[in-house]
Copies of this chain bind each other. A is one copy, B any other.
Amino acid sequence: MVRQLKLGAVLMGVGGPGQHDTWTHPEIPGDASIDIRWYAERARQAEAALFDLVFIVDSQFITPDSPPHYLNRLEPLTLLSALAVSTTHIGLVGTLTTSYNTPFNLARRLASLDLISGGRAGWNVVATGDGGTAANYSRDEHFDYASRYGRALESVRVCQGLWDSYEDDAFPRDVATGVFVDPTRQHRLDHVGEHFSVRGPLNISRSPQGQPVIFQAGDSDEGRDLGASIGEGIFTHSPTLEKAQAFYRDIKARAAAKGRDPEHVLIMPGVTPVVADTDDEAREIERANRLGKDFAKNLAQFGRPFGWHDFSGYDLDAPFPDLGDLGADSFRTQAEQIKKVAREERLTLRQTVERFMSSTPQPFVGSATTVAAEIERWFTGRGLDGLNVHITVPSEFARFTDEVLPILRERGVVRSEYEATTLRGNLGLPIPRNVHTAAREARVPTPAHV
């Protein structure tokens, strides 16, 4: 099968990090983040463009300074379940943290979405970056990296075990014999691990795609290791092709080292294409978006990887402050990267904020031809297997789907019609074999061997 670019749409309402003013856009209702019709229309727009999936990010910790979308948003799975009955083909990927959910509840809710959508559910496994979240869940402190990622891996394994509670032939529902369930096809899990003990069985059967698709987001060494272990899709951010290629090679090598098929780990960075009539015009729009932002809001947002540290009291023109290990238990990878660049290049606080929040041009900016060519270059150059497109404004999204995608379609890079009605089917991912069925069939010789 020819390799094709996978497409996700990151659905937001009124703008996430660095998008403090999106809500003022005339095409965006002020309450878009809590309006299910807004999400349903965006999902249908992406479905009409044959996207593989919509992607819902998440957070649970806010202060009055949080970005608009964070302040007031729908819980991802509640949202996606409503979208499941408002769409027919597009995948539904929700971000759910393993730090503040129990695996039994995660498995159950995701399996329900998977059945409701006819096999279109996906789970973006995160361990939560915002340390302040802990206080909403009866904890004094956020989990440290080791337990955060330990819980994440164990949670996914438990969910996958629970999702196999029933074999596919568990329900004969034979009216003549009166047999509803075949008890030999129902299995307990009896998991006893470092973080969780879960007996099972889960009270729900498998969907047409077998199990929800596992996505992962988290860039530290521990995060990459988790992605390589369980991720079937990896959500990341890659500012340049070179960095994207390095990340791509690293994840695929890690997955291969774990005995997995690297083609079944799809790297899908988040991107924000800007399409205009000419390259110059697009670059000007991108630049204006980036620089037009209020410095105070950028400064507040800049604090996020450091546990929403408040930088407003610092001297902006003094050398970047010594922050010790601030951020180590929050978004460590990002925090360390910022500190490193500031130190090596001897930047002031203001310069550092500008570098990371506004002064670096984004990729995928230009005329439709330019953007399409750039996407194809990243795709064939193995910088990515797909894109998670962050475009909130409907008409801007339409330029991408109506001008860029046809060029890529013409070149065979993206699909011309859905291959399947399940997310696995469209992503080209295999249906995981039920472990109990596999074990039984391994024990019993199949007729061909007799």
Contact = CB atoms under 8 A, between A and B. Distances in A.
Interface of A: 14, 20-21, 23-24, 30-31, 34, 36, 40, 59-62, 64-66, 68, 70-75, 77-79, 81-82, 84-86, 100-102, 104-105, 108-109, 111-113, 115-116, 132, 135-139, 166, 171, 173, 175, 178, 180-181, 183, 186, 195-201, 203-205
Contact of A85 (B62, B85, B111): B85
A14 B132 CA distance: 44
B136 A198 contact: yes
Given A21-B178, A198-B138, A36 B115 contact: yes
B180 A36 contact: no
A434 to B, nearest CB: 15
A292 to B, nearest CB: 12
Contact of A203 (B40, B71, B171): B71
Contacts of A108: 60, 75
B180 A104 contact: no
Contacts of A34: 115, 204-205
A138 B102 contact: yes
B72 A205 contact: yes
A31 B171 CA distance: 9
Contacts of A105: 100-101, 105
A258 to B, nearest CB: 27
A360 to B, nearest CB: 25
5 contacts: A30-B171, A66-B203, A78-B81, A104-B136, A136-B198
Contacts of A197: 135, 138-139
Contact of A102 (B30, B100, B104, B178): B100
A85 B62 CA distance: 28
Contacts of A137: 102, 104, 198
A158 to B, nearest CB: 10
A79 B70 CA distance: 25
B62 A201 contact: yes
A181 to B, nearest CB: 6
A79 B203 contact: no
Contacts of A173: 23, 30-31
Given A34-B204, A70-B203, 11 more contacts: A23-B180, A64-B186, A73-B204, A74-B116, A74-B204, A78-B116, A100-B105, A102-B138, A135-B197, A135-B198, A138-B195
A60 B171 CA distance: 19
A116 B79 contact: yes
Given A74-B115, A104-B60, A181-B64, A85 B40 contact: yes
A68 B203 CA distance: 10
Nearest to A172: B30
B104 A73 contact: no
A167 to B, nearest CB: 12
B36 A196 contact: no
A225 B32 CA distance: 40
B178 A24 contact: yes
A407 to B, nearest CB: 35
B200 A78 contact: no
Contacts of A116: 36, 74, 78-79, 82
Contacts of A82: 81-82, 84-85, 116
Contacts of A204: 34, 72-75
A205 B74 CA distance: 10
A100 B14 CA distance: 33
| Residue picked from A20, A75, A113, A171, most chain B C-beta under 10 Å | A75
A181 B71 contact: yes
A163 B205 CA distance: 34
A72 B181 CA distance: 10
- Which 9 A-B pairs give the minimum distances between C-beta atoms? A64-B183, A30-B173, A135-B199, A78-B112, A81-B81, A75-B112, A104-B136, A36-B116, A74-B112
A180 B115 contact: no
Nearest to A68: B180
A79 B136 contact: no
B78 A203 contact: no
B109 A78 contact: yes
Nearest to A24: B175
